[in-house]
Amino acid sequence: MSIKILMPALSPTMTEGNLAKWHVKEGDQVNPGDVIAEIETDKATMEVESIDEGIVGKILVAEGTESVPVNQVIGILLEDGEDASAANEAPATAAPAPETTDTPPAADEAPAAEAEAVPAAPAAAPAASSGDVKASPLARRIADQAGVDLGAVQGSGAHGKVVRSDVEAAMTGGAPAAKSGTANISMSGALPAAVDGSGNRLFASPLARRMAAQSGVDLGGVKGSGPDGRIVKRDVDEAIASGASNVAEPESATGTAPVELQAAVPGDTSEVVKLSTMRKVIAQRMAESKSQVPHFYLTMDCELDELLNIRKALNAAQEDVKISVNDFVIRACAMGLMEVPAANVAYEGEGFMRRFHTADISVAVAIPGGLITPIVRAAEQKGFKQISADMKDLATRARDGKLAQEEYQGGSFSVSNLGMFGVKQFDAVINPPQACILAVGAGEQRPVVKDGEIVPATVMTCTLSVDHRVVDGAIGAELLAAIKRYIENPALMLL
């Protein structure tokens, strides 16, 4: 059967992408691992690979198309021996991603599937495992990652083929979900549970909650028609169409009503520029962070003279890698997090937090149109030379849009350094779900008092932004004091 190629979710925050370029044309033979397209995501332009073999039967979204929703069908792949007419029978445009419910839909509600939806894979996706069991490439990939034996999984696809929902059911010990024409593969994260005015939970599908949030619909006034009274997509559609009083004016990410663009006036030399996908996501995430995360800030001055002396000696001793002040800061943060593990956490929501056992330091890197935060993994286990080499490689590939997904997703702590621009001090916005970010200013000569005398010293101001939901003031202060101690006594980081 034909296979639908979907717009992949290449990052947790991605809801749409721009189809920058096709690397294949209709009639081309592709194999697993072949690069088929370039997608501009909220982070960078990334290559995507095919995770199946076949012939490109139809391209449904032209290159250069902007704002293609995640999970929309962008092309059709034909299996060996399949006639090209199968692609012509496919819909010219794809329906939006189906809603997911906690209970399988009734059998008479499950649509018949003519093609299995398979997302294009990011370049870093592992190859599918081999085996005699008839299974889709996506099902094989998920089974490999989860350690599921495909031989013990009953397939619900055509001719008993094992598909994604079968593997997921085996992982949870439940029955396979009713097969549908598309697969819900969104990686953008779960929406919070819906509640009514009294705080009682409302049972609604994720798609219904997302639609309600975008349209300003109060789910407390919507009657569900799904199983056990669950609110589903058609209920929200009806509420929007009815124009009833339960439909509120939609709000923007900042909590204010949408603002109409101001009409041009005579003599006005300004212009309105459309935000890039990356810029829109940055705007949304920063607004959510400042409005939903209770920030508090701690500031300390760090003397750099000893650090600069050791840095000079290390760089003089070898020439292949030049160690920067930022490399020392990354290492100091990693050592500080190991010393104060209560600060090496992330807020998970719904009464949970995640505690990290390594210091995975996300470092803000400016790229055209925005920024990205590649991660130095387990920085507490690396020396200055290795950290410097890692950062040079990550920053170069970040600016070229060549980072793999796992190289910029995750992380337990962030560092943002604007010292190279001469900025003395600033307060950075936390990157959820992380709980802390260190803002690093410029090192400059300042007068300091030592032994009762005023003497010059190179001083750098550091400000720690902290999420008060999971890290208290005393813990944040302990962490910043530890970072300061390592920066001012860099020999401690050599032990």
Which tens digits make up the pLDDT trace of 401-422? 888 888 988 899 999 999 999 9
Q: Is the peptide bond before 447 cis (omega within 30 degrees of 0)?
A: no
Question: What pLDDT score was predicted for residue 115?
Answer: 46
Backbone phi and psi for residue 368, each to the nearest 5 degrees, phi listed first: -55, 125
What digits encode the pLDDT tens for the residues 267-285? Answer: 788 888 888 878 888 888 8
Q: What pLDDT does residue 95 have?
A: 41
What is d(CA 491, CA 469) in angstroms, rounded to the nearest whole number? 34
Q: Does the annotation count 295 as an active-site position?
A: no
pLDDT value for 397: 92
Q: What mean pLDDT comes out for the span 311-321?
A: 92
Q: pLDDT tens across 469-479, in order?
A: 999 999 999 99
Confidence of residue 492 (pLDDT cuts 50, 70, 90): very high
Lowest mean pLDDT among 141-155, 187-201, 263-277, 308-322: 187-201
Residue 108 has pLDDT above 50, yes or no: no
Please report the DSSP string for 284-337 in residue order. HHHHHHHHHS-EEEEEEEEE-HHHHHHHHHHHHH-SS----HHHHHHHHHHHHH
Across 310-322, average pLDDT: 92
Model confidence at 243: pLDDT above 90: no
Comparing 134-138, 265-269, 285-289, which segment has the lowest mean pLDDT?
A: 134-138
- For residue 79, give the nearest of 29, 128, 129 by alpha carbon: 29
- Domains belonging to the chain, first-starting first, are 3-172 (2.40.50.100), 194-242 (4.10.320.10), 279-494 (3.30.559.10)
DSSP reduced 3-state for 220:
helix
Evaluate the omega torsion of the peptide bond into residue 374 and state whether it is cis, within 30 degrees of 0. Answer: no
| Residue whose C-alpha is closest to residue 211's, from 99, 72, 93, 326 | 99
pLDDT at residue 33 greater than cutoff 80 = no
Q: Which residue has the tokens 């009083």?
A: 245
Which pLDDT score is estimated for 357?
A: 96
Q: What is the pLDDT of residue 198?
A: 59
Q: Maximum Cα–Cα distance for the chain, whole Å?
A: 88
Q: Are 44 and 398 in contact (CB under 8 A)?
A: yes
Distance CA 115, CA 138 (A): 14
**Mean pLDDT in the chain?**
78
Catalytic residue, from 23, 159, 295, 468: name it.
468
Return the SS3 of 277. Answer: helix
What is the structure's pLDDT at 169?
A: 65
Q: Quickly state the pLDDT bin for 101 (edges 50, 70, 90).
A: very low
Predicted pLDDT of residue 12: 62
pLDDT band at 114 (very low <50, low <70, confident <90, very high): very low
The span from the CA of 2 to the CA of 116, in Å, is 7
259: tokens are 């603002």
What is the rounded CA–CA span in Å between residue 186 and residue 10? 9
Using 50, 70 and 90 to split pLDDT, how confident is the model at 138? low
Q: Is the pTM of this model over 0.75?
A: no
Question: Are the C-beta atoms of 85 and 77 separated by less than 8 Å?
Answer: no
Q: Which of 21-30, 123-132, 163-172, 334-343 has the lowest mean pLDDT?
A: 123-132
Distance CA 381, CA 2 (A): 48
How far is Cα 119 from Cα 121, in angstroms, rounded to an integer? 6
pLDDT, tens digit (0-9, with 9 covering 90-100), for 213-242 = 767 778 888 888 765 677 877 788 778 776
Measure the CA–CA gap between 382 and 218, rounded to whole angstroms.
Answer: 51
Give the closest residue to 77 by CA, choosing from 93, 64, 90. 90
Say whether pLDDT at 206 is over 50: yes
Mean pLDDT value across residues 189-203: 56
One-letter amino acid at 66 equals: E
Helices (H) and strands (E) in the chain, counts: 10, 22
Count the residues in the chain. 495
Question: What is the model's pLDDT at position 218?
Answer: 81
pLDDT at 112: 36
pLDDT of residue 111: 37
Percent of the chain with pLDDT over 70: 70
Give the least confident one: 154-168, 184-198, 292-306, 386-400.
Answer: 184-198
- The predicted pLDDT at position 482 comes to 98
Q: Read off the pLDDT band of 438 (50, 70, 90).
A: very high
Q: Average pLDDT in the 337-341 region?
A: 97
